[in-house]
């Protein structure tokens, strides 16, 4: 099982948050993957803070290739809107699409992913 770790979890992890032990486990077991969107959300802040070693480590994580199918993203957004989920952004929909395409579970603190698990059947990582 691969676990696509969302930006919300990484931020919590960097702060030593409540999910740190679980992230240590996932890292030690080499279960985590990332994609370019998640890195694009994380790396600018780390570069601004000159966190060179951390950037290097994040870039060593297996990257699941993005195969963005825009017709599918539009359909996802329509399904979300019909279900009353109006605030889900395109980056989260692309992350959801990426996890579905690659059969990975999403590990996130973001409430949008709980909605996406119900609406789109995105598999969430559970401890």
> Could you read off the pLDDT of 23-76 as tens digits, one per residue?
999 999 999 999 999 999 999 999 999 999 999 999 999 999 999 999 999 999
Question: Is residue 124 in some structural domain?
Answer: no
pTM over 0.85: yes
Q: What is the pLDDT of residues 45-59, one digit of tens each?
A: 999 999 999 999 999
Are the C-beta atoms of 13 and 29 separated by less than 8 Å?
no
Total tally of structural domains belonging to the chain: 1
Question: Is residue 75 in some structural domain?
Answer: yes
Query: Distance between terminal CA atoms of the chain?
Result: 13
Are the C-beta atoms of 54 and 48 separated by less than 8 Å?
no
- Confidence band of 127 (pLDDT split at 50, 70, 90): confident
Question: Is residue 127 in some structural domain?
Answer: no
Question: Is residue 13 in some structural domain?
Answer: yes
DSSP 55-67: HHHHHTSEEPPP-
Query: Residue 108's domain is classified under what CATH number?
Result: 3.40.50.1010
Task: Tell me which residue range forms the domain holding 106.
Answer: 3-119
Question: Is residue 125 in some structural domain?
Answer: no
């Amino acid at each position: 099982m691969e676990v696509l770790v969302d930006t919300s979890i990484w931020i919590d992890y960097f702060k030593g948050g409540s999910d740190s032990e679980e992230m240590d486990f996932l890292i030690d077991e080499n279960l985590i993957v990332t994609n370019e969107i998640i890195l694009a959300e994380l790396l600018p802040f780390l570069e601004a803070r000159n966190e060179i070693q951390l950037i290097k480590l994040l870039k060593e994580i297996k990257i699941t290739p993005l195969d963005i199918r825009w017709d599918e993203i539009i359909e996802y957004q329509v399904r979300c809107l019909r279900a009353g989920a109006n605030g889900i952004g395109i980056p989260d929909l692309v992350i959801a699409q990426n996890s579905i395409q690659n059969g990975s579970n999403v590990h996130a603190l973001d409430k949008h992913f709980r909605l996406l698990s119900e609406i789109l059947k995105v598999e969430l990582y559970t401890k």
